[in-house]
Structures are given as structure tokens and as C-alpha cells.
Amino acid sequence: MKYAVIDVGSNTVRLAVYQMENQTFEAIFSQRFTVGLAGYIQDDVMSQDGIRKASEVLLECRVILEQLFPDKVYVFATACLRNIRNSKEAADEIFLLTGYPVDVISGQTEAFLDYYGIQGELPHENGMLFDIGGGSTELVTYAHDGPGTVESLPIGSLNLSKQYVEKLFPKQKEKEEIEKCIRKELKKHKMTGLPSYELICGIGGTARTVLQLIQFQQGLPETQRMITVKQLRILEKLLWKKNSESRELLLQNCPDRLHTIYTGMLILDQLVELTGCERIYISKTGVREGYLRREVMRESQEL
């Protein structure tokens, strides 16, 4: 069986196609579209332009999938549609324009699916996983017997940038305001009393971009997915200089994340401080794999 999953996020839309054999999924195609849907939200309402933009990208995905012949296509949306007042209306209109029903998942569900999606890849029996998205950040603590604390914070790399950053990169005062906001949300969601963890696990685009930047800057092999906090600090020391060297590093590796990588790193910094971790593992898999596993299991139980 061949399955396609389209993940509609606040910053990007991701299309992934998987081949399933013997209950194991193998990714055979993926494509990312940088859309910035959070930029079309004003007063908690997505504009018609935003709905049309999301629909246009889904129609692009449809054209691609016509060449790949998946047996089933799943479309789900995260913070960009769940955190708006016209969520149902937007999803209904996208369905009318594209023919794709959109499953708008809750923050708690997204966090559980993150955990479910990386089963078998966790490098340590206890720790915390994080998924810094454009419009939210999901956190799950885990141990040998499964997940513990599961939270979704309404802060992400794109909505923080939109709210606090006037130009492309945060100024010192803006940086301090963003850090204050992140700490406030962590406290509000009772995440400040967590135990220390030697290792935390990163999921999603922000984490993978940080890994890519460190690999390029510090000459690490592409196969290395474990980084140290010291290596993170070396990267940050350069990027916060905001000079020609740092801009060249960003332009070479993540030109589509220039406006979000700094705010994403500020969230990561607070999580490192919160857990006192020494190492960060960046996962290859995440919410899309978790969503697919859940849906395939549901279908098998209905047979």
C-alpha cells in the first residue's frame, strides 16, 4: 500500500508519500512548500487570501500525487487552523476548493502523534521531546513506560516573529521580550517544575534546521543526529553576531527560515535551560509518521 500525508502547518505545508510493507513505512517522496499561513491570520481569523493560499498548495500536491498514485491521501492541519475562530469555515472552504477534507488536530493530539511517530527512534529511555512549529510548540516527557506530561504551547517560531520582530532579525529588546513570553507560557502550562534530563529529542523543521546549520558550520557528518549543547552555543554565538558570516551561513542552508530561525532557537534555548540537558537528538520522523500509524491502525481495527 502507498499512502500520502499532507501536513498543513503555520509556516510550511509538507507532502510525504510512504510505501507500507510488513507493517513498516518507508518514505519514498517528500516535498516542502513554504507558505507562512500564520501571516494571513489577523485577530484570530484567517483571511480569504490565506484560505486560497492553502488551497492552491493543496492543489499543487494533488498534481504531484497524480503521478505517484497513492492508495490513500490524508490531510491534517495543526496550529494554523486550530488556533483561529473561523477554523471550521476555513476547513470547509478548503474542502470545497480542493476536494481534500482537512483533519484539524488539537495541540494535545499533535503532541501524542509526535511521540507515536518516533517510536523505535528514541535514543534514550527517558527524556523530553519537543516540536517547535510555526504556531505552536509541543512538549512530551517520556520514560520506559510511555509518555508522561503532554503539552501544547501556543507559541511558535513564526507567530513569535510576527508578534515581536519588527525587521528580519530580533533586536536585543525584542529578544528579551520573546524570552519573557516563552517563560510565561512555560510557567502557565506548569512546565517549570520538570526534572532534569540528560537528553532531549527534537522533532520538526526548526530542530532539523538547527542540526543542518551545526553540521555545516562545525563540519559534522550528515549522518550525525546527536548534538551537544556546547555545539548549539557555538552556532548561536555566530548567529547572534548577525554579521556577514552568519547571514551567509543562513542563506546557504535555510533561506526560507531567515525570519523564523532566531525565534525558534530562543524557544529551544529555554527548553535547554528548563531541562538542564547536555545533548539533543534530532529525529528523522515525527507527527506525519505518527498520524499515518494512527490512521492505518484505525482502519485495520474497523476491518
Q: Quick one: average pLDDT of 135-163?
A: 93
Q: What Rg do the C-alpha atoms of the chain give, in angstroms?
A: 19
The answer to whether residues 147 and 256 belong to one domain is yes
pLDDT of residue 246: 96
Q: Quick one: average pLDDT of 192-214?
A: 94
The answer to whether residues 124 and 267 belong to one domain is yes
The answer to whether residues 232 and 174 belong to one domain is yes
Give CA–CA dist 281/221, Å, rounded: 14
Query: Which CATH number goes with the domain that contains 149?
Result: 3.30.420.150
Q: Quick one: average pLDDT of 175-203?
A: 95
Which domain range does residue 23 map to? 2-104
Total domain count, the chain: 2
The answer to whether residues 241 and 114 belong to one domain is yes
SS3 for 40-95 is: HEECCEECHHHHHHHHHHHHHHHHHHCCCCCCEEEEEECHHHHCCCCHHHHHHHHH
CB 161 within 8 A of CB 144: no
Is the pLDDT at 303 greater than 90, yes or no?
no
Residue 72: band (very low, low, confident or very high) from pLDDT cuts 50, 70, 90: very high
pLDDT of residue 302: 66
The mean pLDDT of the chain is 94
Residue 243: band (very low, low, confident or very high) from pLDDT cuts 50, 70, 90: very high
pTM of the model: 0.92
The answer to whether residues 99 and 179 belong to one domain is no
Strand ranges for the chain from DSSP E: 2-8, 12-21, 24-34, 41-42, 45-46, 72-77, 103-104, 127-132, 137-143, 146-153, 199-203, 226-228, 279-282
Is the pLDDT at 120 greater than 80, yes or no?
no
